Structure 1
Amino acid sequence: MYFQHSPRLWSEHPGLVAGVLSASGIDASPAPDLSPYFATAKERLGSSSESDLPEIQAWRRAFASMGLKPTQYRCASEALLRRFRKESTLPRLHPLVDLCNAISLAFAVPVAALDLSKITGDLEVRHATGDESYLTFGGDIEHPAPDEVIFADGAGRSHARRWTNRQSGLSVVRDTTTDVLIVAEGLHDTAAEDVPRLIETVAKELAAHWGTSPEPAILSHASPRFTVHS
């Protein structure tokens, strides 16, 4: 299978930097030490609100350009930072998800972790046609509106809504998950330096903690496709 962003999305958001990796051999072993990532996030939030961070401001502009109210629909990293600022911690979900959330906090960049076994065919970040289905975490089926940016697979299922706003309950990482796709996307001015560092950080943690050999890549308008090798 392959993962990519549509040509239209690259055209509408030329500043996009997307990092992606696939990995096998994931299990529910306890997560590595997350405290350094929490400390970085706490330091960044110490002198400002999450909405002041350039990474978050860039996503707010993108959401506004898509007709979404940025304070109603937040990118995943802003939602995590907001919760962390209020509670000084995050709920524990799955070791890999906890790791990705902690790294997302530190970089203020949205990070998605998807169970590859739940994805049918290829996965593309594109505008919805209105025919796709989306499974909520509560078990309800929704249908993204036409032109909404989604993660769509070959079966017409949406694995994320409003781009980086919310993932699907279908491909969430669970204790039974072994093969994953991890995607990080930035739109801010220094994304070309930050996103590769983020993906490298994730890859190193996966190799050290789960003994995997991740396959990382940085996508661009000229080279938009990442092939997941079985």
Structure 2
Amino acid sequence: MRLQHHPDVRAEHPTLAVGTFETAGISPEMPLDIEKFIARATRRLADGPESEFPEIQAWRRAFAKMGLKPTQYRCASESLLRRLRKEGSLPRIHPVIDLCNAVSVAYAIPVAVLDVAKISGSLEVRHARGDEKYVTFAGTVEHPNPGEVIFADEDGQAHARRWTNRQSGHSAVSATTSDVLIVSEGLHATAAEDVRLLIEAIAGELRRP
């Protein structure tokens, strides 16, 4: 699976660091250890709210730059950290999703998990034209606003809206998913190293016998 970021997105966000990992043969019965990642995030939250994390502040600046209100449209890692701080836990959905959510809060960096079988051709993170189709988790169809940053495939399917804010239900991992593409993106000063370590953490867990 090929993923690229449009040159315009790169130019507007020069600190962007991207990491990807593709794996096959996942199942809902995979025994994955996620508690150590949640514990790491919980310890960090004890020192201050997620809004003070440099990783989150960088995404808030990016959202503001895109014309979005940062406290209304939060990046995925901020939303998860906020939930963890308020509720003390994260939802359990599927082992791979649960792992990626846990690693996301541990590193405070957004992580997307996409069902490869639901993606047509390659993926590009680009500005929307406005005619792309986005399927919500409820099954309704939306069209991204022109200029909005989306994950788009070659058939014009938008697999994420507002960049790292909201994934599509179309390519969400389900009980029948076998192959997934995992994508992480950071914008803060040490994003390149942190995203690398994040991807290594996910890959290490998924490769454990």
TM-score range for the pair, normalised by the shorter chain length: over 0.9
Specify the alignment match of 1:193 in structure 2: 193
Instruction: Quote the offset at 1:30 in angstroms.
Output: 4.0
Alpha-carbon distance in 2 for matches of 1:117, 1:78: 28
Specify the alignment match of 1:161 in structure 2: 161
Q: Deviations over 1:148-179 (max 9, x none)?
A: 00000011010000000010000000110001
**What pairs with 1:166-177 in structure 2 (closer than 5 Å)?**
166-177=166-177
8 A contact 1:31–1:98 mirrored in 2: no
Specify the alignment match of 2:83 in structure 1: 83
Q: Output the TM-score relative to the length of structure 2.
A: 0.98
SS of equivalent residue, structure 2 residue 152: strand
- What letter corresponds to residue 88 of structure 2 in structure 1? S
Q: Deviations over 1:63-107 (max 9, x none)?
A: 000000000000000000000001110110011000000000100
Alpha-carbon distance in 2 for matches of 1:31, 1:51: 32
Alpha-carbon distance in 2 for matches of 1:31, 1:160: 28
Instruction: Quote the offset at 1:191 in angstroms.
Output: 0.6
What is the aligned length? 209
Q: Is 1:39 aligned to residue 11 of structure 2? A: no
SS of equivalent residue, structure 2 residue 69: coil
SS of equivalent residue, structure 1 residue 32: coil
**What pairs with 1:1-230 in structure 2 (closer than 5 Å)?**
1-208=1-208
Instruction: Quote the offset at 1:31 in angstroms.
Output: 4.0
Moved over 6 A (4+): none
Instruction: Quote the offset at 1:23 in angstroms.
Output: 0.7
- What letter corresponds to residue 76 of structure 2 in structure 1? A
Structural RMSD (CA): 0.8
SS of equivalent residue, structure 1 residue 159: strand
Alpha-carbon distance in 2 for matches of 1:101, 1:46: 19
Higher relative contact order (CA 8 A, sep 6+): 1
8 A contact 1:111–1:185 mirrored in 2: yes
- What letter corresponds to residue 191 of structure 1 in structure 2? A
Alpha-carbon distance in 2 for matches of 1:198, 1:156: 29
Alpha-carbon distance in 1 for matches of 2:72, 2:140: 20
8 A contact 2:32–2:206 mirrored in 1: no
SS of equivalent residue, structure 2 residue 18: strand
Q: Output the TM-score relative to the length of structure 1.
A: 0.89
Alpha-carbon distance in 2 for matches of 1:193, 1:180: 23
Task: Indicate the larger mover: 21-30 or 197-206.
Answer: 21-30
- What letter corresponds to residue 52 of structure 1 in structure 2? E
8 A contact 2:33–2:205 mirrored in 1: no
Specify the alignment match of 1:224 in structure 2: none
Q: Structure 2: any 5+ residue segments left out of the alignment?
A: none
SS of equivalent residue, structure 2 residue 70: coil
SS of equivalent residue, structure 2 residue 181: strand
Identical aligned residues as a percent = 62
